[in-house]
Structure 1
Amino acid sequence: MTTGPGAAQDRPAEDPRTPRRAPAGAAVLREEVTDAIRAAVFAELGSVGFARMSIEGIARRAGVGKTAVYRRWKSKLELVLDLVTAVAAEGLPAPATGSLHGDVRALLEVAAHALCHPVASQVIPDLLVEAARHPEISEAIKASLLDGQRGIAAVIVREAVVRGELPEGADPDRALDLIVGPLYWRLAVVRTPLPPGYLDDLAASAVAALTRA
């Protein structure tokens, strides 16, 4: 057997096209299991809510062991926040309809769709209660939900200023409050269905308030 510094040259060269195997003992996270766990979370949230939901219940509904859940998420909070982030990411890019009214109406459509989602209707109110006691939850909700909507509002306001529909210095945060605030109150707090034409009326009211200001 060859020994010494040149020994490595006697080994067969590794074919770069050969797939590398995972290290022995490494956990392979199968996508179908991850999808089953996520579906189970939705079902559990709809059935028992966030406060009563448990990793055991999620695993049982998904047909997997608790270990499969903990390999992916450290806690039920981390799991739910991951889903909230995914739901928030489903939102459309900033609308570009060519008018302030059109952009506001489009944003309301996206926001209404998100607030009617099972995650939003079942989880967000519970998480807001938890956020009052846990700063890390508050920061996660802010990063997942508020920052994305704030960015969209900033684009809407900037484009409206360029078109001359809003004055220089218009505040995107105030615009977001005026546009989405009433909708959030209706769908997430009061939890009553939207009557026909509600989004059209709300868009007109928000635009009137913004332009008068």
Structure 2
Amino acid sequence: MAKNGSAHDGSDGDSAAARRAPAGAAVLREDKTAAIRAAVFEELAAVGFARMSIEGIARRAGVGKTAVYRRWRSKLHLVLDVVSAVAAAGLPSPDTGSLRGDVRMLLEVAARALRHPMASQIIPDLLAEAARSPELAGALKTALHDSQQGVAAAMVARAVERGEIPAGVDAGLALDLLTGPLYWRLVVVRDDLPGGYLDELAAAVAGALGGR
């Protein structure tokens, strides 16, 4: 009887595990996670952080609220995760053979990102919300500055090695010169870029950094 009982217990355990597996798999499904992350961007662009809700995100993603809460415990943590993912993507690290070429490529990538309708709506809203949320402020600093600092430092280091600029150029200043004018024109003023603007800006940035 003990043998039969053991077999019976093992069978019940296997059956229970089998019954639980689909539910666990559904919680961890990457397509649902991706849909939720995409819905966060859409919801932020549509209603802003203050009015954004887990219910709205779930509805837009086509999932239940439980699917969202099993991954993130609040909308703040969800946004922090999405912002961190953007930070991880970062800017490319171009190596065109010249400082001006590297600057021009980075300006093109940044301009394309800032031209996106969602970015022009989401970034100012999140920056305003960051004034009230230290956690969000820290995540945005990482996404919008710290993660790009290494790219700027590498670009400056290569230019120094090529003898294009003197040693000691501040990578932080390079990053400010790269992104500041574009953010001002595309996000703050919301004006389009005239023809040749990126070429002129690339020349101006390289010149400001001491490029020959």
Which range, TM-score by smaller chain?
A: 0.7 to 0.9
Shift of 1:55: 0.9
Amino-acid identity (%): 67
Shift of 1:31: 2.1
Matched to 1:99, the amino acid is: S
| 1:139 paired residue number | 138
| 2:14 paired residue number | none
Q: Is 1:85–1:145's contact at 8 Å kept on the other side of the alignment?
A: no
| 2:6 paired residue number | none
Shift of 1:171: 0.7
Structure ranking higher in helix proportion: 2
In structure 2, distance between residues paired with 1:165 and 1:21:
64
C-alpha change, 1:209 and 1:61, in structure 2 (3 Å) is same
| 1:128 paired residue number | 127
Q: TM-score, normalised by structure 1?
A: 0.81
C-alpha change, 1:126 and 1:65, in structure 2 (3 Å) is same
| 2:48 paired residue number | 49
Q: TM-score, normalised by structure 2?
A: 0.81
Matched to 1:130, the amino acid is: E
Shift of 1:118: 4.5
| 1:99 paired residue number | 98
Give 3-state SS (helix, strand or coil) of 1:211's partner.
coil
Q: Is 2:92–2:106's contact at 8 Å kept on the other side of the alignment?
A: no
| 1:154 paired residue number | 153
The total of aligned residue pairs comes to: 197
Gapped runs of 5+ residues in structure 1?
3-10, 12-19
Gapped runs of 5+ residues in structure 2?
4-9, 11-16
| 1:85 paired residue number | 84
Shift of 1:47: 2.1
Matched to 1:174, the amino acid is: L
Matching of residue 209 in structure 1 with residue 201 in structure 2 = no
Structural RMSD (CA): 2.6
Shift of 1:22: 9.6
C-alpha change, 1:28 and 1:57, in structure 2 (3 Å) is closer
Q: Is 1:87–1:114's contact at 8 Å kept on the other side of the alignment?
A: no
Q: Write out per-residue CA displacement over residues 113-157 of structure 1, whole angstroms, 9 at most, x where no aligned residue.
A: 222335522222111112222221111111222112111110111
5 Å matches for 1:109-120? 109-120=108-119
Matched to 1:52, the amino acid is: R
Q: Write out per-residue CA displacement over residues 95-119 of structure 1, whole angstroms, 9 at most, x where no aligned residue.
A: 1001010011011112112223355
Matching of residue 60 in structure 1 with residue 59 in structure 2 = yes
C-alpha change, 1:45 and 1:148, in structure 2 (3 Å) is same
In structure 2, distance between residues paired with 1:82 and 1:119:
17
In structure 1, distance between residues paired with 2:153 and 2:18:
47
Matched to 1:49, the amino acid is: G
| 1:170 paired residue number | 169
